[in-house]
Every structure is written in structure tokens, then in C-alpha cells.
Chain A
Amino acid sequence: MKKKMVHIPMPWRYVINAAAIAVIFLIFMVLSSAGVITNYYSKILMLIGINMILAVSLNLATGYLGQLPLGHAGFMAVGAYASGIFMRTASGLPTGLAVLLSIIIAAVVAGIFGFLIGIPALRLKGDYLAIITLGFGEIIRVVLLNIDSVLGFNFTYGAASLKNIPKTTTFTVTFLCVVVVCFFIHTMMKSRQGRAILSIRENEIAAESCGIKTTYYKTMAFVASAAFAGVAGSLYAGYLGILNPANFGFMKSIEILVMVVLGGMGSMIGSLLSATVLSALPEMLRAFSDYRMVAYSLLLILVMIFKPSGLMGTYDFSFTRLFGGLLGKKTGDSTVGKESGE
């Protein structure tokens, strides 16, 4: 059962991972300049990237913390609107800076909402948590829809949609965001804070008796999850250029949850993979539009029957391990899961 441990030392792991990511990025760049990736495919790739961020961020709350929040689209909406409103007003700034600021603002605002909602919601568990977060998600949507007419000013433009947001989301920005978010979540989970979050999933009573302040760490995971959903929202705002509260309904939350469950709760590569499949599938099946939803449901049913733990279970992919494997060796612990092939 013992594996032979050949430890790839730390700076080299970073080099391997950074190189792998750079290679993937270059492949995409070459493909798009060669005209293989057309504008249409590039749009799909961006959508996949946004869904990847949503899936890995929800995976933090569902797979790692072990809770079942159903209001993820609400946090995405908060991030999207915060970023959209900022981008409409910040036309004077250079584009790069404005995009960076809009993403940070989206993350912070969504994180604050995550905190406000997490404090009361995380007192509950299981089904009850699912219901209360679902409620909060809907509250966010309804508020965005009606706040203007109630308060009498033009802020979110309600059902008329927030229009004319600069379309700043490019493939490069999306790619970078996916890499950074995955890196942050990965390093967070490999720390004492991350272990505390995992211990709550495993056994809350035992975690508490190990001196872990469970409420604190639950809130921390929930806030981080909301903040990263905000990042996805920000990209989404720059991707569509128009925001309507109807895009952030209950079904969107379910869609994200399906990605996490299909990929395997607690597996980052699983979330990335299933986000890719589930975002690309509807596009690829456009020719058979009548049967799209059938294929989608069939896929879910088959996975639930044959692999109830999700495509990847809790397995996490590692470039370092792959690299060590190619050398005919096995390395120790799994390293960075920041391999995000879009």
C-alpha cells in the first residue's frame, strides 16, 4: 500500500505548475490567432471560465465545508451589479485598472453580503440551511428588481436591465481569474484554516473538541465562497454587457450546484471538468435542440447511478504528480490544483 515517495521540492512544483498553465494559455492563444478558435468559440470559452469560477467557489461551501447553500446566484448577482455599476461610472480609468478594480469591488461587496447572510444562515444545518439560503438568494433578486421603483432613483434599472456595461471581459482576463481563484482556494485549503474547514465537514463535534471555533471557520468559508462568486459575477457583467435580475434566479443556483455535484463534491478538478462539460454541452447540442435537455438530464441520471460520488469523487489532479508519474516515480502529497484548462 505504501507508495514510493519521491518528493519534488517546492520551488520546482511552482515552476512545473506555472509552466503547465503558461503552455495551456499559449495553446489557446496560438489556436485563436490561427483562427481555429473563432469569436463564437471564444465566447463559449469565456462562459466556461465563468462557470468554472462559480463551480469551484460553490465547491468551497459544499464540497469542503459540507454545507448546502442554494443562493449562490444571489452572490453572483451582487458581484455582477456592483461591478456593472462601477464600470459604468469609471469610464475615465484605463481599461486594465478599471477591470481589476471592478473585480476586486465585486469580490468585496459579494463577500460582505456573504458575511451578512452567513451569520444567521449558518446557525442552521442541512435542509434548513438550503432553504434559508435559497430564500436569501431570491431576496437579492427581488430587491435588484424592485429597489429602483421603491427608492425612486436609477440604480439597478430593475426589469429594464442595467445596460451599456463596457464589455471588458476577454479570454485572457477570464483565464487569469480562473487561475487566480483556483490558486487562492487551493492554498487556502492547504492551510490550518483550510484543515479547520475540512474538519467541520468531517465531524463538527470532533472539530469543536479539537479547539476549532466552528462558527468562525464556517463563516470564513462561506464569505470566501460568496466573494469568488462575486468575481464570476463581475466577469459575467463584462461578458454580457447587460444585467437583468432574471438571470440570477433560483435555477442558476441549481445549475451551479449540479456542476459541483456532478464533478464530485470536494474535488476542484471535478468542478472544473463538469463546469466545462455542462457549459459546452448545450452549445454542442445546438443542432439537436429538441433533445438538449434530454441529453442533459440523461447525463445527470447516468452519473448518479454509476458514480454517485461525482465524476471525480474527491480526487484532486496535480501536475506535479503527473510529471512525477511520467518520470516513472510517484510524488508525495497532491500539489496545486490550479490546472485550469479552459
Chain B
Amino acid sequence: MSKRDIREPFIPERDKGLTPTIECIGLGIDFGGLTAVDDFNFTLGRTEIGGLIGPNGAGKTTVFNLLTKVYQPTRGQMLLLGRDTKDMTTADANCAGIARTFQNIRLFKDLTVLENVLIGLHNEIHYTLPEAIFRLPRYWHAEKVARERAIDLLSIFNMQDMADDIAGSLPYGAQRRLEIVRALATNPTLLLLDEPAAGMNPSETAELMETIRHIRDMFKISILLIEHDMNLVMGICEGIAVLNYGRLIAKGTPEEIKNDPNVIEAYLGKKEC
């Protein structure tokens, strides 16, 4: 029914010549007898902001868990910058360039804001354990550089003054932002945001939209987000994929998605004649 073939890759014009950030080919996963995601074909351009939407229980977060290797796919293949990600662990996937935030915030909530970001910078800091224990010059140098970098990252969200606060004591919105900062600290090529605007008021959401665009332009990365707030999705996503019952039902620009009969049916049900 949809005008665009959902098996065809869809990425913005400007990213056409480059290897896509991720390319999923027939990705699927079963939990016992339940097929949670099936035949997931998806491509994300190098500087694209993509959206993944769908009704509750459609399998969006499962897709994120597949991309970050929390789950290993039962079927299909996933290429990260053209590289097969088979047998990678979650930590490997992060080192290879995938960072994420969580739907239910997972901060290191008894640690300070700064420590949270420093943990994100873990693989950017280089010194060995003996160097740390005996506090050799490399330790001091690397820690100083990391702290400066962490403060720089926090200042994207204007959070540099909260550096010494305990993460769990921050207001909800700030916790969400801190999670994004922590994900950015891992120096990703792909940032996955799981409902970044959940629980935010309209003006915070508008601000978040600006920030997401700003992050994309500043770090030249691709961003894929799951979101129920259609203003946000339609406002910033260049390509949108719609999932229902674990299957892709539509793919395209915001305009195409808004008018896609399959999508309308999935969200609102069939029109009675």
C-alpha cells in the first residue's frame, strides 16, 4: 500500500555516497516461541537523524537492544559502518561506536555527575592500573585531560555547574540530559536515544530538539531515536521507520509517514466504511 518499498534503503541525499552508519538486513529475534522482531531492514545515513516509532509493544526497544548487542539476533545481519557485528558484546559494540540512553534512566546514581561522564570517557583515558596506583605522571595528565573533556561535554547542556552533584539527586530532565552526555562521552558514531523527551514539558521538548540537532552538527554523528512525542519526531527526523508487531510497516520522510494508510491504521485502527 505504501508508495515506498520498505525493503529499499532510505537515507538522505547528502549521505548517499558514504557507507551507512548501520545497515540491518533481515534482522530478527525470537524469545522462545515469540517472534519479537522479524525481517527488520533498515539503513541509517552517516549524518541522519532517524526516528523509530510504533505503538506500545511494537518492538522498538528490542531493536535498540539488538543494535547494542544486549540481545544477539536469531536471524539476519547488522553492519556497523560496513563491518559485521556478529559475536560482538555490548561493550564491543560501544567501542565500535554505538552509544545509547535508556527508556528508564540508568545513571550511576550514587556517583557524581562528573564521575558519570568520566565513566563514559573510560575508553578514551589511557593508563594502566600500576600507573594509577602509584600515581605516575601519565595518570595525572590523563585524568586532567579527561576532566576538562567531561566539563566541555557537560557544558553542551549547560550542566557544568552540576559536576559535583550526585547524579541521583538531579531533577528528572537533567538526569535525561546527563545520560545523553554520558553516551556522547564514549565518542560514538551512532547515538541511540530511547524516548529522550519522555516526561518533558513542551518547552523542554523544543529545547531538546534544538540540542539533538546541535549534537548532530557538532559531532557529525547519526542519531536514531525512539519517541512517542510526534512533534519531536516529525520536527527533527529526516527518515522515519514505523514498527508494528515486530515488523516494519512503513519507512520514509515525515510527510510520507503522516499520510501512510498503514501507519494510520496501526495507530488509530481501520476506518469503518
Q: Which listed residue (A190, A193, A194, A205) contacts B70, Cβ 8 A?
A: A205
Q: Which chain A residue shows the least CB distance to B110?
A: A202
In the docked arrangement, what's the CA distance between A203 and B140, Å? 27
In the bound complex, residues from chain A placing their C-beta under 8 Å from that of B133 are: 184, 187-188, 191
Distance (whole angstroms) from the CB of B158 to the closest CB of chain A? 16
- Return the CB mask of A1-31 against B: 1 if under 8 Å, else 0: 1110000001000000000000000000000
- Return the CB mask of B89-109 against A: 1 if under 8 Å, else 0: 111001100011010001111
Q: Which listed residue (A192, A199, A208, A333) contacts B127, Cβ 8 A?
A: A192
In the bound complex, residues from chain B placing their C-beta under 8 Å from that of A203 are: 106-109
Q: A184-B133, A192-B127, A210-B122 are in contact. Are A199 and B108 (CB under 8 A)?
A: yes
In the bound complex, residues from chain B placing their C-beta under 8 Å from that of A212 are: 91, 119, 122
In the bound complex, residues from chain B placing their C-beta under 8 Å from that of A10 are: 140
Indicate whether A214 reaches chain B with its CB closer than 8 angstroms.
yes
- Return the CB mask of A175-203 against B: 1 if under 8 Å, else 0: 00000000010011011111110110011
**Are B68 and A198 in touch, CB under 8 angstroms?**
no
**Are B106 and A191 in touch, CB under 8 angstroms?**
no
Interface residues of A: mostly helix, strand, loop or mixed? helix
In the docked arrangement, what's the CA distance between A205 and B64, Å? 13
**Are B132 and A206 in touch, CB under 8 angstroms?**
no
**Are B91 and A208 in touch, CB under 8 angstroms?**
yes
- Return the CB mask of B115-136 against A: 1 if under 8 Å, else 0: 1001110110101010011110
**Are B89 and A193 in touch, CB under 8 angstroms?**
no
Indicate whether A169 reaches chain B with its CB closer than 8 angstroms.
no
Indicate whether B111 reaches chain A with its CB closer than 8 angstroms.
yes
Q: Which listed residue (B70, B132, B161) contacts A192, Cβ 8 A?
A: B132
List residues of B (55-113) whose CB comes within 8 Å of A's CBs.
68, 70, 89-91, 94-95, 99-100, 102, 106-111
Indicate whether B177 reaches chain A with its CB closer than 8 angstroms.
no
In the bound complex, residues from chain B placing their C-beta under 8 Å from that of A190 are: 132
In the bound complex, residues from chain A placing their C-beta under 8 Å from that of B107 are: 202-203, 206
Q: Which listed residue (A199, A220, A332) contacts B119, Cβ 8 A?
A: A199
CB contacts between A and B, total, < 8 Å: 99
Indicate whether B245 reaches chain A with its CB closer than 8 angstroms.
no
Q: Which listed residue (B95, B109, B122, B142) contacts A202, Cβ 8 A?
A: B109
In the docked arrangement, what's the CA distance between A209 and B107, Å? 11
- For A, the interface residue count at a CB cutoff of 8 angstroms equals 32
In the docked arrangement, what's the CA distance between A207 and B118, Å? 12
In the bound complex, residues from chain A placing their C-beta under 8 Å from that of B119 are: 195-196, 198-199, 207, 210, 212
List residues of A (88-123) whose CB comes within 8 Å of B's CBs.
none
**Are A202 and B94 in touch, CB under 8 angstroms?**
no
In the docked arrangement, what's the CA distance between A303 and B127, Å? 40
Q: Which chain B residue shows the least CB distance to A189?
A: B132
In the docked arrangement, what's the CA distance between A301 and B99, Å? 45
- Return the CB mask of B167-189 against A: 1 if under 8 Å, else 0: 00000000000000011011000
In the docked arrangement, what's the CA distance between A195 and B114, Å? 11
In the docked arrangement, what's the CA distance between A213 and B89, Å? 9
Q: Which chain B residue shows the least CB distance to A184?
A: B133
In the docked arrangement, what's the CA distance between A1 and B140, Å? 29
Q: Which listed residue (A198, A211, A220, A332) contacts B108, Cβ 8 A?
A: A198
Distance (whole angstroms) from the CB of B176 to the closest CB of chain A? 14
In the docked arrangement, what's the CA distance between A191 and B147, Å? 12
Indicate whether A314 reaches chain B with its CB closer than 8 angstroms.
yes
Distance (whole angstroms) from the CB of B129 to the closest CB of chain A? 5
In the docked arrangement, what's the CA distance between A206 and B115, Å? 14
In the docked arrangement, what's the CA distance between A96 and B102, Å? 55
**Are B118 and A187 in touch, CB under 8 angstroms?**
no
8 extra A-B contacts, CB within 8 A, seeds A192-B118, A202-B108, A207-B119: A191-B127, A195-B111, A196-B122, A203-B107, A203-B109, A208-B91, A208-B94, A332-B164
Q: Which chain A residue shows the least CB distance to B121?
A: A192
Q: Which chain B residue shows the least CB distance to A186?
A: B133
**Are B68 and A187 in touch, CB under 8 angstroms?**
no
Q: A188-B129, A196-B122 are in contact. Are A205 and B106 (CB under 8 A)?
A: yes
